[in-house]
Structure 1
Amino acid sequence: MSKQTYRVCLCFKRRFRIKEAEVPSDVAELFASYSDNGSMSVDHLHRFLQEVQGEEKLTKEEAQALMVSFLSENKHHSVSQRRSLYLKEFFRFLLSGINAPLPLPPKVHQDMNCPLSHYFIYTGHNSYLTGNQISSDSSEEPIIEALKRGVRVIELDMWPNPSKDDVHIMHGGTLTSPVKLIKCLKAIREHAFAASDYPVIITLEDHLNQELQAVVAKMVHETFQDVLVCSSSDTFQDFPSPQSLKGRVVISTKPPKEYLEAKEGEDGSVRVYKSSEEVGWGKEISDLAVKLERDDGGECEDEQEDPGQAVQQSAHPEYKNLIAIRAEKMKGGIKAWLRVSSQKAHRVSLNEEKLENAVLTHGTEIVRFNQRNLMRVYPKAMRLDSSNYNPLIGWMHGVQMVAFNMQGHGRSLWLMQGMFRANGGCGYVKKPDFFLNNGPSGEVFDPNKRLPVKKTLKVKVYLGEGWNIDFHRTHFDFFSPPDFYVKIGIAGVPCDSTMKKTKTIEDNWTPVWNEDFDFPLTVPELALLRIEVHEFDISDKDDFGGQTCLPVWELKTGIRAVPLHDRKGDQYKSVRLLMKFEFV
């Protein structure tokens, strides 16, 4: 009888009990101070919201409305008889969406009557691409998605359709498939003001002959009609305001002749590189301070002309009238194109590498240029995976249009989303006054100058919950509950930027940290609070557990429920942290 080997496989399933989050001692103490006999009345809640949460202007009627709304949403059927909260209800109130860290409902509160050059503007790059910069499809769908997220600047690259008298939108010199221009225009017309009433700017990269320019002019006029802003002049003395352009669509491009004189495509798209950015949830944000340590004295390279390109003699007049914001070619060295003209305001465009080189030696001149003119910065050619760069390099030099690839995810894009959560999410954030008001001797803001601390943001991370609802339970370790930790820090000017970390709480779906952090801020007007949750994995890279980025200058003080978002930026239904914010 032959010997045989048998393999026995044992399968088992382990159930994990999800504990309900416990009330932190700070919350229990506050409840005791603002309640009587274990019950918090409307008067008590009103006083708590004013004194602890910093809601000084909140009325008693508004406090009552908040209580009623909370009790109703949480299915308390006795709401008509009861106007009070017990301890656990008060705790759940603090963890609810009603108790947000930013103003709720979102509302535009900044002055929108200043020139466009006074605002940071939510700007997209190659807005029609569905994925990478080399081989993905072109489509109107990413444009629609961007507009729904509040993006205000859409970029379209126009190329002739060789088989028809038509215009394609595509990334020239690559394997990206085309989409018809008319599809993109109709998508913009239908969704332009889905998230914001403030103007949509379409930046065009033009590779067309005069006949096709006439086709484009007719197409644009018929699509947008009276929504379109047409220019009767080649120049602006000053740019119009977002308020004056509300509900309008604006075209911005270089004069067509200059496109044919310049390199083919602003971003040199035919070069092929492999980017290491965006591995996992994204490489850590680059540190500009390291770049500033090397002062190589180099200047920004000039745009070189391509002698192989034919120079177009003139643009079709109807097409020329489409251009409301004129973008000019950078001629001469950096000193030449940074000269501020008293006669006209215009837009220039350069890639991230040229900006990084330029700010090393001409940082304050760039700030001064951007007081009146518009600057657009776009990703360098090697970002074929549609990754992005550190937007703070542009913002802290007053750059209005920091153009981003919106197709992917990663820490740089999270910063972009965080910036434009400000001002009601309208896509326009007014630059801080120090960018616009020069000092007594005419000096402008220098982002690299070490300034005294203006204020300190004190943050306490209490606890988190909701992963068992929004995540499949096997997303983390299969054989044990997750081990969560929080990374928290500031993205801002170099001396404010930092990241810190909580301890890891092992085997718990509702981790409690109770840890305090202090962030001294020299320029709080440019500071973004970065929050990430990760799950520690001893044998592999740590798993992603959520993220958010919040504009510090709009943070509400007190104990707040901070909702987390996925890698792309969509908010989870249930995952949130309970945190406390205080400025001293």
Structure 2
Amino acid sequence: MDPGGSCVPDDPDVKLMMGGSTLRKVKSRSWKKQRNFRLLEDGLTIWYKSRWAGKGHSTFSVTDLEAVREGHQSEVLLSIAEEFPAELCFTLVFHGRQGNLDLVAESPKEAQAWINGVRKLIHKAQTMDEQERLDQWVRDWFQKADKNKDGKMNFKEVKTLLKMMNVDMNEEHALKLFTTADKSESGTLEIEQFVHFYKILTQRDEVWKVFQDYSGDGEMLTLEELESFLTLEQQEGEQSSHHAQELIQRYEPSETAKKQSAMSLDGFQMYLCSQEGSIFKPEHLELQQDMSQPLSHYFISSSHNTYLLEDQLRGQSSLEAYIQALKRGCRCVEVDCWDGSDGEPVVYHGHTFTSKILFKDVISTLRDYAFKVSDFPVIVSLENHCGVEQQTVMANHLKQILGDMLLTAPLNGQVPQQLPSPQELRGKILLKAKKIGGLEERLNETLTDEVSDEDEAADGDADIPNIEDPPTEKNKNAEASRELSDLVVYCKSVHFHGFEHARSNSKCYEMSSFSESKVKKFTKDAGAEFVRHNSRHLSRTYPSGLRTDSSNYNPQDMWNVGCQIVALNFQTAGLEMDLNDGLFRQNGCCGYVLKPGFLRDANSQFNPENPKEQPGYKQLRLSIQVISGQQLPKVNQKERSIADPLVRVEIYGVPQDQAKEETSYITNNGFNPVWNETLNFVVHTPELALVRFVVEDYDKASRNDFLGQFTLPFTCIQTGYRHIHLLSKDGTPIPPSSLFVNISISSAETGPSD
């Protein structure tokens, strides 16, 4: 890819961005400061600094951006709407958990140029192929390191740059390659020459060896040779001949080779690094499951305290938190409602220092963002602390703002014998809350007798310990507004009185919430019964009130017994959210994943504590040869140190499947470490297992630093030689960081050893 703005050559918007603009950066109603912004020559870096000389500057890459919002589409810009009209305002939205950048231009024309220009550049960055992406990554580093901006680098500067890129290499070898790349013999490399230098530096022996195993002449893979690689190594079976031809067309850079239906080493490496060469079966990334079964047959991506961006004691409540959760495929959001001082209900974590947002604004945000990434239903889990009056206000907001999106009556007017399917509920928002009476009849009594204090705690999220409700609160809340109650259709919250009671009395549209400790107790005491209950009823689980830091429980324990709505703090990065992202990465990231057959069967005997009793039980052996790593990220860009990486593979599933194995660490090489170590596992319930690959920087004195991870369901693994494209702590891609592995799955004979 050419450097400079040539990525969108004569575009007037991009030209204006390169010329630079003075934009106001807005952080709050009172913090609005002018900054000079411009797009650098590489066409991908946006640079800005304060107008005062001598102050430092900041940069970010277009590849860090997810979208541009036009007008007053953030809380900050809404708060200054009177001062700055919508046509001057726009918001740059970053991937992951990085905060947005709210900006105000000096004229509508300038705002429009930035909005259109950034959108074009984002589109360009998203449509780059693997090779262009890698080239761009190398160019970005070059730009960062070229301090005097003369577009040249001598050997000393290149050595420093390599260290920044996590490369520690033999100086003699580096100098030899530097001289080869320095075609003009000037003692410096220009950007094109540096890209060439980088390519010869990163030639991968381990890929070359695999290529040599199948190539007759060591130069090319013929169509037949590529087919036999796909059949024998990649286990592709029947489809390999047609697929081989497709791969050559798609990844072979040389036209001559294409004409001969052959693949060069370059093409082979590009295929292996592509989505098709990745560990995740491409067909499982698409929407490919049966979506016509009852809601209770699916795992549903679910968020807890959705309104929080930080912890639940003094974090900020924010509409942005709802947008972020919905963008991650979340299909069940939580709304904690309290009486507002001016008759408008507010949302926040009661009796804490978290800030408040208006209920009606939350509902407007849901209307705008609920179906952007998935059109399957969204459940609004209402934690209702309001008096009757404001409950009625809530009901009116729900009806007026959501209109037809809100499901207000059973489908086809029938009382259901089983829950409807995600397919039937496409584009609908469902309310989960308490209901007066059932769908069968409309009773006239209020909820006063139905809701005891114990029920309140058992059904909703338990409040933070040692914080008492004011005495008036309970009496005020004991009544329910008929208007709000009537909006509850398929998700009526009820107190759980035991499995037997539920079996003989509960309607399919009644559901209960369980704290993490309750789930653990029921799983231990009555695992198979819990599984059967969850085949017919929805269950929501939530983290303990003691987790004031908004940490998460391991969702796997809940999925093992078929709980569908396993609510996690989406704002808290870490293992638990990695597992959630991993499970829901399949099936088009639509937020719904069909549970395995044994969790959908009303007569199931499955018990996660003892999976061997399951009919058709068969354990599998998973063997992972961890071959090498590529361009692992640095923990700390400023430090001179280079990573000592190790790879750990973790299995999460039924208790018997929980396992971890790791490679040794490689000293001082985060660039192209080679392990060639094999890790072996036996998996008893593959349908429930998730496999997590973690790369860490080994440290003998303190905890290892996290470098990257990737998590996926066992059932989505492609065998053979595969790349694993690593993700950051936030779950966002960090190209070109990857692992190269060889995976085999085989039947494991049951024996005394396991």
Q: TM (normalized to structure 2)?
A: 0.65
- Correspondence 1:474 to 2:637: yes
Q: Which moved more, 1:136-145 or 1:452-461?
A: 452-461
- Correspondence 1:244 to 2:424: yes
Equivalent position of 2:280 in the other structure: 102
- Correspondence 1:402 to 2:583: no
- Cα RMSD for the two superposed structures: 3.0
Query: In the alignment, residue 266 of structure 1 is paired with which amino acid?
Result: G
- Correspondence 1:33 to 2:207: no
Question: Partners of 1:344 and 1:522 in 2: how far apart?
Answer: 31
Equivalent position of 2:464 in the other structure: 270
Give the number of equivalent residue pairs.
Answer: 530
Equivalent position of 1:87 in the other structure: 265
Distance 1:345 1:228, change over 3 A: closer
Distance 1:114 1:269, change over 3 A: same
By how many angstroms is 1:354 displaced?
Answer: 1.5
- Correspondence 1:123 to 2:284: no
CA contact (8 A) 2:168 2:642 kept: no
Question: Partners of 1:234 and 1:29 in 2: how far apart?
Answer: 61
By how many angstroms is 1:505 displaced?
Answer: 0.7
Deviations along 1:253-288, whole A, 9 cap, x unmatched? Answer: 123735675446933333279xxxxxxxxxxxxxxx
Q: Which moved more, 1:124-133 or 1:60-69?
A: 60-69
- Correspondence 1:175 to 2:175: no
Question: Partners of 2:506 and 2:479 in 1: how far apart?
Answer: 27
By how many angstroms is 1:472 displaced?
Answer: 6.9
Deviations along 1:502-533, whole A, 9 cap, x unmatched? Answer: 01111112111111122111100011111110
Q: How do 1:517-536 residues align onto structure 2 when only pairs under 5 Å count? A: 517-536=679-698
Q: Which moved more, 1:139-148 or 1:419-428?
A: 419-428
Question: Partners of 2:578 and 2:611 in 1: how far apart?
Answer: 26
Equivalent position of 2:601 in the other structure: 437
What secondary structure is seen at the aligned counterpart in 2 of 1:370? Answer: helix
Q: Which moved more, 1:82-91 or 1:197-206?
A: 82-91
By how many angstroms is 1:139 displaced?
Answer: 0.8
Q: Which moved more, 1:37-46 or 1:411-420?
A: 37-46
Equivalent position of 2:24 in the other structure: none
- Correspondence 1:546 to 2:708: yes
Query: In the alignment, residue 490 of structure 2 is paired with which amino acid?
Result: I
Distance 1:151 1:78, change over 3 A: farther
Q: How do 1:166-245 residues align onto structure 2 when only pairs under 5 Å count? A: 166-232=344-410, 236-245=416-425
Q: Which moved more, 1:257-266 or 1:520-529?
A: 257-266
By how many angstroms is 1:454 displaced?
Answer: 1.9
Query: In the alignment, residue 309 of structure 1 is paired with which amino acid?
Result: K
Deviations along 1:65-112, whole A, 9 cap, x unmatched? Answer: 44343346xxx6878767533224423431334422113362111111
What secondary structure is seen at the aligned counterpart in 2 of 1:113? Answer: coil
Distance 1:218 1:574, change over 3 A: same
Query: In the alignment, residue 392 of structure 1 is paired with which amino acid?
Result: Q
Equivalent position of 1:489 in the other structure: 650
CA contact (8 A) 2:419 2:508 kept: no
Q: How do 1:321-332 residues align onto structure 2 when only pairs under 5 Å count? A: 321-330=486-495, 332=497
Hey, which of these two has a bigger chunk of helix by percent? 2
Q: Which has the higher contact order (CA 8 A, sep 6+)?
A: 1
Distance 1:567 1:312, change over 3 A: closer
Q: How do 1:332-371 residues align onto structure 2 when only pairs under 5 Å count? A: 332=497, 334-335=498-499, 337-339=501-503, 341=505, 343-371=507-535
Residue number among 291, 309, 329 corresponding to 1:150 in the alignment: 329
By how many angstroms is 1:383 displaced?
Answer: 1.0
Question: Partners of 1:236 and 1:254 in 2: how far apart?
Answer: 18
Equivalent position of 1:49 in the other structure: 230
Residue number among 317, 337, 347 corresponding to 1:138 in the alignment: 317
By how many angstroms is 1:211 displaced?
Answer: 2.2
Distance 1:368 1:93, change over 3 A: same
Equivalent position of 1:454 in the other structure: 619
Question: Partners of 2:640 and 2:635 in 1: how far apart?
Answer: 14
Query: In the alignment, residue 606 of structure 2 is paired with which amino acid?
Result: F
Question: Partners of 1:537 and 1:331 in 2: how far apart?
Answer: 48
Distance 1:534 1:312, change over 3 A: closer
Distance 1:346 1:131, change over 3 A: same
Distance 1:331 1:577, change over 3 A: closer
Question: Partners of 2:375 and 2:248 in 1: how far apart?
Answer: 32
Distance 1:313 1:92, change over 3 A: closer
Distance 1:472 1:368, change over 3 A: closer
What secondary structure is seen at the aligned counterpart in 1 of 2:282? Answer: coil
Equivalent position of 1:411 in the other structure: 575
Equivalent position of 2:749 in the other structure: none
CA contact (8 A) 1:260 1:309 kept: no
Distance 1:317 1:487, change over 3 A: same
By how many angstroms is 1:356 displaced?
Answer: 1.3
What secondary structure is seen at the aligned counterpart in 2 of 1:357? Answer: helix
Question: Partners of 1:35 and 1:206 in 2: how far apart?
Answer: 71
CA contact (8 A) 1:490 1:528 kept: yes
CA contact (8 A) 2:207 2:269 kept: no
By how many angstroms is 1:58 displaced?
Answer: 4.1
By how many angstroms is 1:51 displaced?
Answer: 4.0
By how many angstroms is 1:235 displaced?
Answer: 6.4
By how many angstroms is 1:339 displaced?
Answer: 3.2
Query: In the alignment, residue 199 of structure 1 is paired with which amino acid?
Result: P
Question: Partners of 2:712 and 2:575 in 1: how far apart?
Answer: 13
Deviations along 1:25-59, whole A, 9 cap, x unmatched? Answer: 57624543255552124554344334432334647
Distance 1:95 1:186, change over 3 A: same
By how many angstroms is 1:409 displaced?
Answer: 1.0
Question: Partners of 2:400 and 2:270 in 1: how far apart?
Answer: 53
Residue number among 549, 566, 570 corresponding to 2:728 in the alignment: 566
What secondary structure is seen at the aligned counterpart in 2 of 1:252? Answer: strand
What secondary structure is seen at the aligned counterpart in 1 of 2:628? Answer: strand
By how many angstroms is 1:316 displaced?
Answer: 3.5
Deviations along 1:316-367, whole A, 9 cap, x unmatched? Answer: 44322211223333254x3555435475442100110111122221222211
Distance 1:496 1:263, change over 3 A: same
Deviations along 1:191-224, whole A, 9 cap, x unmatched? Answer: 1122222111111111222222222222112222
Question: Partners of 1:534 and 1:328 in 2: how far apart?
Answer: 43
Query: In the alignment, residue 187 of structure 1 is paired with which amino acid?
Result: T
CA contact (8 A) 2:315 2:354 kept: yes
CA contact (8 A) 2:490 2:509 kept: no
- Correspondence 1:70 to 2:244: no
CA contact (8 A) 1:68 1:79 kept: no
Question: Partners of 1:24 and 1:143 in 2: how far apart?
Answer: 47
CA contact (8 A) 1:375 1:399 kept: yes
Equivalent position of 1:278 in the other structure: none
CA contact (8 A) 2:211 2:265 kept: no
CA contact (8 A) 1:207 1:260 kept: no
Distance 1:63 1:33, change over 3 A: closer
Query: In the alignment, residue 324 of structure 1 is paired with which amino acid?
Result: V
Question: Partners of 2:508 and 2:704 in 1: how far apart?
Answer: 52
Distance 1:342 1:190, change over 3 A: closer
Q: Which moved more, 1:353-362 or 1:549-558?
A: 353-362
CA contact (8 A) 1:345 1:372 kept: no
